[in-house]
Chains A and B, each alone.
Chain A
Amino acid sequence: LAKTTQPPSMEAYEGQEVNVSCSHTNIATSEYIYWYRQVPHQGPQFIIQGYKDYVVNEVASLFISADRKLSTLSLPWVSLRDAAVYYCIVTGPGTGSNRLTFGKGTKFSLIP
């Protein structure tokens, strides 16, 4: 399973766009990139997944570099409900494992 590296924390003002980066230099060709977030006192929630290029849904967008070693989760117009820990996870079929391995994630906070 590819290891991921994220910034430990980020801050922004309400209404700004926030970009959370994730490095996965050893990503395998069979692996996908998943993003989850966890707000206090709740379980992680799936946000978005991608394999290459650009993916967008109603919550966020995901840009994946051409070599797939870096991905960036973009949250438009952040509000209080976006304050959470964001996890980037790389996994896929053929890894021999069906588990998700969570790192320390990126803690995103709003600047008062």
Chain B
Amino acid sequence: GPKVLQIPSHQIIDMGQMVTLNCDPVSNHLYFYWYKQILGQQMEFLVNFYNGKVMEKSKLFKDQFSVERPDGSYFTLKIQPTALEDSAVYFCASSPGTGNTGQLYFGEGSKLTVL
């Protein structure tokens, strides 16, 4: 089936550094999402993105977070600067955006470890 690819699968960085998580969404999908999951806890919505703009964001989407998708390239989540509490697995998802609004395709996650 359709696949969402995430790069890197795991990244370890020092607190205060910048990190960019990359997502290659399903071709022709229009909506893009980032979710955060701390080990053993619920998936938490961060942000969704459509037509070059942030549509919704949660309280977890701090000022240090930003998203973008330059034309035809990866959908990225940037954290600058990182904090210890940013350690988690970040999941990217995409959806066609029309009709079936609840069917999202998720990647396998990017595990971020902030030391």
**A residues in contact (CB < 8 Å) with B:** 32, 34, 38, 41-46, 49, 89, 91-93, 97-105
Contacts and interface: CB of A to CB of B under 8 A. Distances in A.
Interface string B54-95: 011000000000000000000000000000000000010101
Contacts, number: 57
Interface residues of B, number: 26
Given A43-B91, A49-B103, A98 B42 contact: no
A42 B45 contact: no
Given A34-B102, A49-B100, A99 B109 contact: no
Given A43-B106, A102-B35, 14 more contacts: A32-B102, A34-B102, A34-B103, A43-B107, A44-B104, A49-B100, A49-B103, A97-B56, A98-B55, A98-B95, A98-B101, A102-B42, A102-B44, A102-B45
Contacts of B102: 32, 34, 49, 89, 91-92, 100
A94 to B, nearest CB: 9
B45 A99 contact: yes
A11 to B, nearest CB: 19
B101 A92 contact: yes
